[in-house]
A and B are shown apart, each in its own frame.
Chain A
Amino acid sequence: MIAQMFFIGFFGLAAVWFGVVVFRTFSMVRSALALLFSQTALGALFLSMQAEFLGVLQIMMMATEMSIMAIFMVMFMMDPGGLGEMDMTHQKRLSLGAGLVSFIAAVAVAVFVDWGPVAGVAPDAAQQTVDLGLELLGRSMLIFETAGITILTAMIAATAVAIKPNANSTSSHRRRPVSINNALDSGMRRNNGRSNRGHDEQ
């Protein structure tokens, strides 16, 4: 019990700290990976709350997601390395206020609401997995299927949005939209402080 309490506190602290780091650092890759570690700490938190399947799943999924996040940062930010140390925030005071207010409100709810009796023991991991499987393919199959369809739709929609608009008409060379490779190269270029010509004409 004590150990569980300690672990929950520790991993929760780690998650929050990394979450803060996400918005404190200048280097975009750092912030993406900080987000990753915050999510991983959450996975560990789930594990210490005996939700084994969820914990492992969280740890597995978030790694890929956040790495992709990182590469997008590198592609789309003007200063992914954070060498320029430029500030990329606005309406700071309002945001801080909103964050604090929501935090305090949530904590207040958490403290003052009477959560009723607390269950001591959770079913063991294998049993949990079996139950979850039966639940997914049994009572809440419809929800599960809907989630799957939703993901599929999102994939298709994202691809459709992201496809290069005029892929086949290479006639106007100078007004060709910026392609991902150029973005990657330019990200690299900015990162290294060198400048290689040849992409600038495009």
Chain B
Amino acid sequence: MSIELLLALITGAALFGVGVYGALSQTNLVMIMMGVELMLAGAMVNLVAFWRYLHPDNPAGQMFVLIVMTVMAVEMAVGFGVAIARFRAKGSVEMEEAAELKG
């Protein structure tokens, strides 16, 4: 159990927690996406830390981080597409006003 690994993991945990807080507490779609980005960032920190301190010889770990980056990009793209469409339709992206999904 090395201090570096612990530090990195705690960083990841903190980022994840902040992300959860943001994603839950913000009223704006873009801000919610920021929260999600932070959560993903926390996950990435953990991945890199595990790669570096547990299996530095296995590049699959780094590959995993690349995949997470891809996921971030995809999330941005789709989220902004939805945001643009909603802004056109309703003139705002405040999630308080978006209750169309209610079944």
Partner of A102, one of B6, B17, B88, B92: B17
Which residues from chain A contact B45 at a C-beta distance below 8 Å?
12, 15, 42, 45
List the count of A-B residue pairs having beta carbons below 8 Å apart: 248
Considering the complex, give the chain A residue whose CB is closest to the CB of B17.
A103
| Interface magnitude class on chain B | 35 or more
| Binary contact readout B8-30 vs A (1 if CB under 8 angstroms, 0 otherwise) | 11111111111111101111111
Q: B24 touching A99 by the CB < 8 A rule? A: yes
Q: How many residues of A contact B (CB 8 A)?
A: 92
Known A73-B30, A110-B10, A158-B81: A35·B37 in contact at CB below 8 Å = yes
Partner of B57, one of A99, A123, A154, A165: A123
Q: Output the least CB separation between B81 and chain A (Å).
A: 3
Instruction: Tell me whether A92 is interfacial, beta carbon within 8 Å.
Output: yes
Please provide the 4 A-B residue pairs with the shortest distance between their CB atoms, ordered closest to farther: A103-B17, A158-B81, A12-B11, A99-B21
Docked complex Cα distance between A155 and B81 (Å): 9
Known A38-B41, A99-B17, A115-B5: A158·B52 in contact at CB below 8 Å = no
Which residues from chain B contact A54 at a C-beta distance below 8 Å?
48, 62, 65-66
Chain A binding surface, main DSSP class: helix
Inter-chain pairs besides A68-B80, A76-B92, A114-B1, 6 sampled, C-beta below 8 Å: A57-B66, A95-B24, A106-B12, A134-B59, A158-B80, A161-B78
Which residues of A come within 8 Å of B, CB atoms?
Answer: 1, 4-5, 8-9, 12-13, 15-16, 19-20, 22-23, 28, 31-32, 35, 38-39, 42, 45-46, 49-51, 53-54, 57-58, 61, 65, 68-69, 72-73, 75-78, 88-92, 94-96, 98-100, 102-103, 106-107, 110-111, 114-116, 118-119, 121-123, 128, 131-132, 134-136, 139-140, 143-144, 147, 150-151, 154-155, 157-162, 164-165, 177-180, 183
